[in-house]
Structure 1
Amino acid sequence: MRKLDLPPVWLFGAVVVAWTQASWYSFDLSFGGAWSDFLGGLLVGGGILLTLLAIYEMRRHGTTVIPHKTPSQLVQSGIFSRSRNPIYLGDVLILAGLILRFDAVVSLPLIPVFVWILEKRFVIPEEGRMRREFRADWGRYEQKTRRWA
């Protein structure tokens, strides 16, 4: 079961809920056309870019991207100099963008729920492992780099 407890699985579930809501339960609500498609596309593209940049940087440092494992390196370069959690931020942007693209107005509350799930299931436990593993280096990194920037 732990193999399925991964952010992409949670993202997929939220996307399925949003798509289902938009397809079957729209309640005649709409974001209003072309601007939401455009903005949604930008958010999805930005989320994918953030995720790819983060994966590249972690691979470059030879460390894991699996959230339940302790990384062998504290990556502070590249996109990680701007955000401690660029992959999770990318996931949130992808979800928000797809909600706009699907015109799933009623699914907007999924975004803060998804952020809460990511924080409780992944971010906080990961940061605890990083704090224990990298001690002072983590403390300095945590002070200078925001979590959700």
Structure 2
Amino acid sequence: MKWIDLPPVWLLAFLVLAWVQTTWYPMGLSFGGVWADFLGGLLVGGGLVLMAMAFAEFRRHRTTVIPHRDADRLIQSGIFKHSRNPIYLGDALVLAGLILRWDAVLALPLIPVFVWTIEKRFILGEEDRLRRKFRADFARYCQKTRRWV
């Protein structure tokens, strides 16, 4: 089942879990209305902007965005100056934002579980491939740029 090994599929699975929780098991819990909708919207919007900025850098540098493929270039410009994984950070923000907007209080633990899953399934392997291919450049990049934020 190689298709499941794509980050958008994992994000969709976690979003479905959050939606199921709020739809069928709300347990009478709530974040409190308007402020949660507003913050949730900001998080979703911010996550989408991060992803768009990262995709633009991938396109500009003409390298792959697909996680299990070898990169042709080490991107250190644009949004990648601030985060080594802006797309995954964007995914986590979208998940957090929709959990807030959907009032899925019991789904909050899905956020750290999602981050852990993405790190284990994708980030560690990607970083290992980049470390082997770009050696000293990647080591310097890791020293100046954090994995998430």
RMSD (Å), alpha carbons? 0.5
Q: Which runs of 4+ in 1 moved over 6 A?
A: none
The alpha carbon displacement at 1:70 in A equals: 1.2
Listed as ranges, the gaps of 5+ residues in structure 1 are: none
Aligned residue-pair number = 149
After alignment, is 2-11 or 95-104 more displaced?
2-11
Local SS of the residue matching 1:42: helix
Local SS of the residue matching 1:80: helix
1:117 is matched with which residue? 117
The alpha carbon displacement at 1:40 in A equals: 0.2
Local SS of the residue matching 2:67: coil
2:32 is matched with which residue? 32
1:21 is matched with which residue? 21
1:148 is matched with which residue? 148
After alignment, is 88-97 or 2-11 more displaced?
2-11
Listed as ranges, the gaps of 5+ residues in structure 2 are: none
- Alignment TM-score, normalising by the size of structure 1: 0.99
1:128 is matched with which residue? 128
The alpha carbon displacement at 1:41 in A equals: 0.2
| Aligned-partner Cα distance in 2 for 1:125–1:118 | 10
Local SS of the residue matching 2:73: coil
> Identity, % of aligned pairs?
66
| Aligned-partner Cα distance in 2 for 1:70–1:82 | 22
1:1-149 correspondence to structure 2 within 5 Å: 1-149=1-149
The alpha carbon displacement at 1:30 in A equals: 0.2
Local SS of the residue matching 2:148: coil
The alpha carbon displacement at 1:2 in A equals: 1.6
- Alignment TM-score, normalising by the size of structure 2: 0.99
| Aligned-partner Cα distance in 2 for 1:144–1:133 | 18
| Aligned-partner Cα distance in 1 for 2:18–2:80 | 29
